């Protein structure tokens, strides 16, 4: 990094508003929401969603209550075009839902977009062209006047084709975005927007959407709010416009920029579930909606099944929701600190007793409202503020417990800590783990193990110490682990089981490196039990892990 970054970078110019109003306002109602998951979110995926995945997400967005959904860029590819047609021809769009399509100000793309929307009931045609100085100079090599001409021609091309939709009964709303608005001079953004308005002629009864995107965050969120308020105050025929926000998260302040933009006078918000989008992502609509909810404002969107929504999102996009993601993350309703746990317990007791306004310390909303629950995680020692059992085992000793094993071992460790009546050290925690899993040698202890394979069939010849007596066992299988499991059941009298999960890791490096194996078995009754084994030989570590699980099941 540069010692003097001002030699290369400079702050974005401020907007002159001597008497700005937005800092003294407060939000009282939800905006119009528009999901752009199927377009802006989808185009940012390494592997874009296929049609089936897009249909699943579309249905989920409708279920959440979105009334405006940007379904794609139909002029970009045949897949995008056919998705539109399938939605319309299969009548998948509820009567109260409007689909939106993005298109550049180019005639061939506009023509394709209009074709893709024929037969729809309610549509938004969203036209854009870039307006910032850098785009004008480096990308297009055009003057301000030439950029305005591009927008005017595109607007006229769309207007000339509207009859093809309206004659078939389609309700059309027009939307314009001076793309890269956040980096554009507000005076020029106003000028080009008004030029488009002159073509489309919006009225208070039939408004157009003016979308003012924070395409790339180049300033603090208060500057974006100033830009929005300046436009709202100075643009002509404000009463004929729906001012829309579309923020990104380059500076990590997409949510703040949106909320301040709403204070500044905007009516509508575009964004995605959990902030999926290019670079650092789009605005997270879930987050803004839940922020309104926690202030007692009905957001108009329903996230009662947050876990189900997350599973759909991760399945269709291949993305993941971070554990600390606001409202949605796995750990956001989890307390590790003993003092936090105590305060939350007392707050919950008070709420249950009085059923008044939610005022529970450390929990901004009731987790039950979104289908979640509050849970505690053991605070192991005074230095463990950042984690519970799994965190300490990993951070102190490099032991990475599988998630299901964390759920098994956590309560076991919690019981021990409770009986001790004090906090325990990380070393003591490791000792608990070793005693519970690694040192389990009854009724079966390994004395000798050997396995070899021919044509994919392995034969195991081993010996165990069973209740103090050595016994040889043999078995076959499609691998050493399967062969040993077969021998255990056949010759050692172990209860029937099958291996459900297997994972391994290295605990150290060099010639003395140890391997740690985790194996989960499933008994004939359907019960699942974990085992763990350590050895410098990974195969032996796996065999010991099987014995650990079987011994714990006995």
Q: What's the number of domains the chain is made of?
A: 3
Residue 469 within a domain: yes
Could you list the residue range(s) of the whole structural domain that residue 447 is in?
A: 440-553
- C-beta of residue 467 within 8 angstroms of C-beta of residue 447: no
Q: Can you list the positions of beta strands (E) in 107-255?
A: 122-130, 171-179, 208-214, 241-247
> Helix (H) and strand (E) counts for the chain?
17, 16
Q: What is the pLDDT of residues 264-288, one digit of tens each?
A: 999 999 999 999 999 999 999 999 9
Three-state secondary structure along 278-320? Answer: CCCCECEHHHHHHHHHCCCCCCCCCCCCHHHHHHHHHHHHCCC
* Residues 417 and 507 occupy one common structural domain: no
With bands split at pLDDT 50, 70 and 90, how would you rate the model's confidence at 376?
low
Residue 227 within a domain: yes
pLDDT at site 385: 32
Last residue within a domain, chosen from 271, 286, 314: 314
Average pLDDT over residues 457-468: 91
* Residues 197 and 119 occupy one common structural domain: yes
* Residues 501 and 529 occupy one common structural domain: yes
pLDDT at site 422: 73
Residue 328 within a domain: no
Rounded to 5 degrees, φ, ψ at 101 are -130, 140
Average pLDDT over residues 46-56: 92
* Residues 430 and 452 occupy one common structural domain: no
- C-beta of residue 207 within 8 angstroms of C-beta of residue 240: yes
Average pLDDT over residues 220-237: 98
Residue 12 within a domain: no
- C-beta of residue 301 within 8 angstroms of C-beta of residue 64: yes
Question: Is residue 382 helix, strand or coil?
Answer: coil
With bands split at pLDDT 50, 70 and 90, how would you rate the model's confidence at 453?
confident
Average pLDDT over residues 96-114: 96
**Distance from CA of residue 422 to its chain's centroid?**
37
pLDDT at site 111: 96
User: How far apart are the C-alpha atoms of 551 and 236, rounded to whole Å?
Assistant: 79
CATH number at residue 108: 3.20.20.70
- C-beta of residue 413 within 8 angstroms of C-beta of residue 432: yes
- C-beta of residue 205 within 8 angstroms of C-beta of residue 239: no
* Residues 261 and 112 occupy one common structural domain: yes
pLDDT at site 244: 98
pLDDT at site 391: 66
Report the residue count for the chain: 554
Angle between helix 221-234 and helix 254-263 axes, rounded to 10 deg: 30
Q: Evaluate the CA torsion angle 298, 302, 305, 308 in order and state its sign.
A: negative
Q: What is the pLDDT of residues 170-185, one digit of tens each?
A: 999 999 999 999 999 9
pLDDT at site 455: 85
* Residues 389 and 476 occupy one common structural domain: no
User: How far apart are the C-alpha atoms of 439 and 366, rounded to whole Å?
Assistant: 42
Q: What is the pTM of this model?
A: 0.71
pLDDT at site 338: 62
257 class by beta-carbon count within 10 Å (0-12 exposed, 13-18 middle, 19+ buried): buried
**Helices within 175-269 (DSSP H only):** 186-200, 221-234, 254-263
pLDDT at site 231: 98
pLDDT at site 509: 59
CATH number at residue 339: 1.10.287.1400
* Residues 294 and 352 occupy one common structural domain: no
Is residue 68's pLDDT more than 90? yes
Is residue 337's pLDDT more than 60? yes
**How many CB atoms neighbour CB 263 within 10 A?**
18
* Residues 301 and 345 occupy one common structural domain: no
* Lowest mean pLDDT across 23-32, 54-63, 77-86, 115-124: 77-86
Average pLDDT over residues 172-201: 97
Last residue within a domain, chosen from 285, 314, 343: 314
* Residues 74 and 88 occupy one common structural domain: yes
396 class by beta-carbon count within 10 Å (0-12 exposed, 13-18 middle, 19+ buried): middle
């Amino acid at each position: 990094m540069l010692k003097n970054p001002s030699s290369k970078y400079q702050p974005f110019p401020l907007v002159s508003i001597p008497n700005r109003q937005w800092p003294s306002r407060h939000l009282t109602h939800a905006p119009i929401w528009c999901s752009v998951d199927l377009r802006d979110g989808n185009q940012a995926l390494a592997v874009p969603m296929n049609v089936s995945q897009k249909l699943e997400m579309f249905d989920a967005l409708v279920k959440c209550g979105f009334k405006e959904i940007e379904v794609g860029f139909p002029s970009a590819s045949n897949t995008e075009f056919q998705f539109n047609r399938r939605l319309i021809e299969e009548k998948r769009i509820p009567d109260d839902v409007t689909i939106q399509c993005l298109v550049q100000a180019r005639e061939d793309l506009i023509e394709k977009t209009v074709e893709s929307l024929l037969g729809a009931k309610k549509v938004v045609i969203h036209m854009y062209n870039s307006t910032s100085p850098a785009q004008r100079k480096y990308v297009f090599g055009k003057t301000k006047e030439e950029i305005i001409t591009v927008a005017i021609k595109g607007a006229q091309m769309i207007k000339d084709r509207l009859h093809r939709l309206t004659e078939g009964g389609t309700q059309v709303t027009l939307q314009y975005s001076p793309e890269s608005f956040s980096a554009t001079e507000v005076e020029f953004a106003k000028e080009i927007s008004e030029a488009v308005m002159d073509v489309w002629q919006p009225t208070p009864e039939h408004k157009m959407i003016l979308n003012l995107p924070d395409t790339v965050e180049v300033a603090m969120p208060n500057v974006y709010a100033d830009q929005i308020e300046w436009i709202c105050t100075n643009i002509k025929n404000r009463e004929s416009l729906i001012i829309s926000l579309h923020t990104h998260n380059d500076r990590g302040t997409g949510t703040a920029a949106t909320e301040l933009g709403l204070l500044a006078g905007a009516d509508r918000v575009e964004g995605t579930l959990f902030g999926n989008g290019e670079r650092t992502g789009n605005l997270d609509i879930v987050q803004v909606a839940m922020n309104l909810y926690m202030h007692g404002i009905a957001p108009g969107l329903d996230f009662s099944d947050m876990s189900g929504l997350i599973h759909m999102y991760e399945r269709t996009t291949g993305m993941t929701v971070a554990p600390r993601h606001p409202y949605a993350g796995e750990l956001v309703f989890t307390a590790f600190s003993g003092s936090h746990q105590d305060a939350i317990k007392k707050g919950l007791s008070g709420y249950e007793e009085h059923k008044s306004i939610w005022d529970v310390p450390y929990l901004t909303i009731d987790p039950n409202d979104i289908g979640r629950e509050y849970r505690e995680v053991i605070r192991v020692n005074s230095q463990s503020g950042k984690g519970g059992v799994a965190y300490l085992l990993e951070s102190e000793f490099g032991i990475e417990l599988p998630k299901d094993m964390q759920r098994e071992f956590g309560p076991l460790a919690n019981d021990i800590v409770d009986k001790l009546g004090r906090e325990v050290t990380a070393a003591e925690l490791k000792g608990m783990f070793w005693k519970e899993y690694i040192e389990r040698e009854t009724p079966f202890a390994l004395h000798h193990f050997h396995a070899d394979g021919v044509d994919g069939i392995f034969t195991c010849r081993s010996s165990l110490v069973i209740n103090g007596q050595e016994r040889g066992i043999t078995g076959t299988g499609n691998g050493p682990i399967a062969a040993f499991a077969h021998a255990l059941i056949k010759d050692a009298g172990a209860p029937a089981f099958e291996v459900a999960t297997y994972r391994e890791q290295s605990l150290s490096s060099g010639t003395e490196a140890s391997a740690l194996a985790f194996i989960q078995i499933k008994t004939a009754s359907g019960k699942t039990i974990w085992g763990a084994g350590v050895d410098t030989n990974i195969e032996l570590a796996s065999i010991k892990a099987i014995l650990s699980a079987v011994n714990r099941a006995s």
